[in-house]
């Protein structure tokens, strides 16, 4: 029998029963949430994406998510420090609609990026990570700039291995290592410049969700249409969606673009 959002909600409630947790379900946007009762810190899960994975992979998809949730919730309830963990601080890319404060009102540390994206910072803890909030700055006497520079330095050490697909004379480069920081590589300007130097057309960049970075050497109008469809599909399927709008990379800047069917993109700047 095919899985549905409501059946998945009941399955997760059964798998995640614990006196310390509270679960809720927003029927309007099909989001299931589990959080600590005391702190109200928790994680939201978009059920349509999970249902699609379940219909494709079965119980393994749920097992994988439940393990991730347990690990992430455990980490939220632990005390952590930055000192001695300098090599484990990384930037993460989120949409501008992503909450910038925790449930208790503590502000997460952020930095502006583009009109569609914002930079957050993560303390990598192995199987999961914790977003860094401003309380870390007060307790450990770190500055926001120090965390940013530290995070960028560590990000530049990540591998930039990619796969290339050529479609209708357009080259598409994909980074999908599943290390949690694939989209973060959009901040690696030397890597973007390297691909730009190889491109014979416009260089477009996309971060539809956290676990993929797409770069495209667009040489014709069909390439823009392919990129638009590809980005929308990745955005819909991602565990942590970022933006369905790609960017044009030119002169070390990223400009969001709308791609109209059968047409070249229109810059979103007013």
Q: Provide block-wise average pLDDT over 10 residues at a time, the chain (270 residues).
A: 88 88 91 87 87 88 88 78 91 95 87 96 87 87 93 96 95 94 97 96 96 96 93 87 94 85 50
Together in a domain, 172 and 127: no
The confidence score (pLDDT) of residue 205 equals 97
What pLDDT sits at residue 1? 65
**58-97 burial by CB neighbour count: b if 16+ within 10 A, else e?**
eeebbeebbeebbebbebbeeeeebeeeeebbbbbbbbee
- What per-residue confidence (pLDDT) applies to 40? 81
Q: Are residues 66 and 42 in the same domain?
A: yes
Q: What per-residue confidence (pLDDT) applies to 57?
A: 87
One domain, residues 179 and 203: yes
User: For the chain, what is the domain count?
Assistant: 3
| Same domain, residue pair 149 and 170 | no
- In terms of domains, do 53 and 93 share one? no
Q: What is the pLDDT of residue 262?
A: 53
**144 plus 167 within the same structural domain:** no
Domain range for 149 is: 86-156
Do 100 and 24 lie in one domain? The reply is no
Residues 151 and 185 in one domain: no
What is the reported pLDDT for 8?
Answer: 93
Looking at the fold, whether 115 and 189 belong to one and the same domain comes out as no
Residues 178 and 146 in one domain: no
């Amino acid at each position: 029998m095919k899985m549905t959002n409501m059946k998945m909600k009941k399955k997760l409630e059964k798998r995640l029963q614990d006196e310390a947790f509270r679960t809720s379900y927003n029927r309007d946007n099909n989001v299931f949430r589990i959080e600590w009762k005391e702190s109200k810190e928790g994680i939201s899960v978009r059920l349509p994406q999970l249902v699609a994975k379940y219909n494709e992979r079965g119980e393994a998809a749920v097992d994988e998510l439940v393990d991730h949730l347990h690990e992430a919730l455990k980490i939220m309830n632990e005390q952590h420090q930055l000192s001695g963990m300098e090599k484990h601080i990384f930037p993460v890319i989120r949409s501008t609609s992503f909450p910038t404060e925790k449930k208790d009102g503590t502000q997460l540390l952020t930095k502006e990026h583009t009109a569609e994206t914002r930079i957050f910072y993560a303390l990598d803890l192995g199987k999961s990570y914790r977003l860094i909030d401003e309380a870390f700055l007060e307790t450990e006497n770190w500055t926001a700039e120090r965390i940013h520079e530290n995070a960028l330095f560590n990000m530049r050490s990540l591998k930039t291995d990619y796969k290339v697909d050529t479609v209708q004379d357009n080259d598409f480069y994909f980074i999908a290592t599943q290390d949690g920081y694939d989209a973060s590589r959009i901040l690696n300007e030397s890597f973007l410049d390297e691909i730009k130097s190889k491109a014979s057309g416009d260089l477009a960049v996309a971060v539809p969700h956290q676990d993929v970075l797409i770069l495209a050497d667009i040489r014709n109008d069909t390439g823009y249409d392919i990129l638009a469809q590809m980005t929308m599909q990745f955005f819909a399927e991602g565990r942590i969606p970022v933006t369905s709008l790609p960017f044009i990379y030119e002169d070390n800047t990223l400009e969001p673009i709308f791609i109209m069917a059968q047409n070249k993109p229109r810059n979103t700047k007013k």
